Chain A
Amino acid sequence: MKSKLLTLLVLLAPSSTLWAEALTGEVERQPLNISAITMFLIFVLATLGITYWASKQSKSTSDYYSAGGRITGFQNGVAIAGDFMSAASFLGIAALVFTTGYDGLIYSIGFLVGWPIILFLIAERLRNLGRYTFADVASYRLKQIPIRTLSACGSLVVVAFYLIAQMVGAGKLIELLFGLNYHVAVVLVGVLMVLYVLFGGMLATTWVQITKAILLLFGASFMALMVLKYVNFDIGQLFKQAVDVHAKGDAIMSPGGLVSDPISAISLGLALMFGTAGLPHILMRFFTVGDAKEARKSVFYATGLIGYFYILTFIIGFGAILMVGTNPAFKDASGALIGGANMAAVHLSDAIGGSLFLGFMSAVSFATILAVVSGLALAGASAVSHDLYANVIKKGKVTEKSELRVSKVTVVVLGILAILLGIAFENQNVAFMVALAFTVAASCNFPILILSMYWKNLTTRGATVGGWLGLVSAVVMMILGPTIWVSVLGHEHAIFPYEYPALFSIVIAFASIIVVSKLDNSPAAEEERARFLPQFVRSQTGLGASGAVSH
Chain B
Amino acid sequence: MKNSYSQILDDPRFQELVSKRNRLSWTLSALILIVYLAFIFLIAFAPQVLGTRISADSVITWGIPIGVGLILFAFILTGIYVRRANGEFDRLTKAILDEVQQ
User: Which listed residue (A117, A307, A541, A542) contacts B29, Cβ 8 A?
Assistant: A117
Contact A307:B51 (CB < 8 A) given known A8-B40, A534-B5, A541-B96: no
CA–CA, A239 and B25, complex, Å: 38
- Residue pair A541, B97 in contact (C-beta under 8 Å): yes
- Residue pair B74, A253 in contact (C-beta under 8 Å): no
- In the complex, chain A residues 8-63 whose Cβ is within 8 Å of any chain B Cβ: 8, 11-12
User: Which listed residue (A11, A112, A239, A299) contacts B71, Cβ 8 A?
Assistant: A112
Does B56 make an interface contact (CB < 8 A)? Answer: no
Does A519 make an interface contact (CB < 8 A)? Answer: no
In the complex, residue of chain A having the shortest beta-carbon distance to the beta carbon of B67: A105
CA–CA, A119 and B8, complex, Å: 24
- Residue pair A300, B74 in contact (C-beta under 8 Å): no
CA–CA, A113 and B78, complex, Å: 11
- For chain A, give the interface size range: 35 or more
Instruction: Name, among B50, B75, B90, B96, the residue most crowded by chain A CB atoms within 10 Å (CB to CB).
Output: B75
User: Chain B residues with Cβ under 8 A from A11's Cβ?
Assistant: 40, 43-44
User: Which listed residue (B26, B45, B51, B78) contacts A116, Cβ 8 A?
Assistant: B78
- Residue pair A120, B71 in contact (C-beta under 8 Å): no
CA–CA, A12 and B37, complex, Å: 8
User: Which listed residue (A255, A293, A296, A541) contacts B43, Cβ 8 A?
Assistant: A255
- For chain B, give the interface size range: 35 or more
- In the complex, chain A residues 75-108 whose Cβ is within 8 Å of any chain B Cβ: 102, 105-106, 108
- Residue pair B60, A239 in contact (C-beta under 8 Å): yes
User: Which listed residue (B2, B8, B14, B44) contacts A7, Cβ 8 A?
Assistant: B44
- Residue pair B14, A109 in contact (C-beta under 8 Å): no
Does A219 make an interface contact (CB < 8 A)? Answer: no
Instruction: Mark A296-325 against chain B: 1 for CB-CB distance below 8 A, else 0.
Output: 110110011001001100000000000000
- Residue pair B36, A109 in contact (C-beta under 8 Å): yes
Does A161 make an interface contact (CB < 8 A)? Answer: no
- Residue pair B8, A310 in contact (C-beta under 8 Å): no
User: Chain A residues with Cβ under 8 A from B48's Cβ?
Assistant: 254
Does A230 make an interface contact (CB < 8 A)? Answer: no
- Residue pair B60, A236 in contact (C-beta under 8 Å): yes
Query: Within the complex, what minimum Cβ distance (angstroms) separates A12 from chain B?
Result: 6
Instruction: Mark A221-257 against chain B: 1 for CB-CB distance below 8 A, else 0.
Output: 0000000000000011001100100000010011101
User: Residues of A at under 8 Å CB distance from B?
Assistant: 4-5, 7-8, 11-12, 102, 105-106, 108-109, 112-113, 115-117, 119-121, 124, 235-236, 239-240, 243, 250, 253-255, 257, 293, 296-297, 299-300, 303-304, 307, 310-311, 533-534, 537-538, 540-544
A-B pairs with beta carbons under 8 Å apart, 14 shown: A8-B40, A11-B44, A109-B36, A113-B33, A115-B74, A116-B29, A239-B59, A255-B63, A296-B85, A307-B74, A538-B5, A540-B17, A540-B93, A541-B96
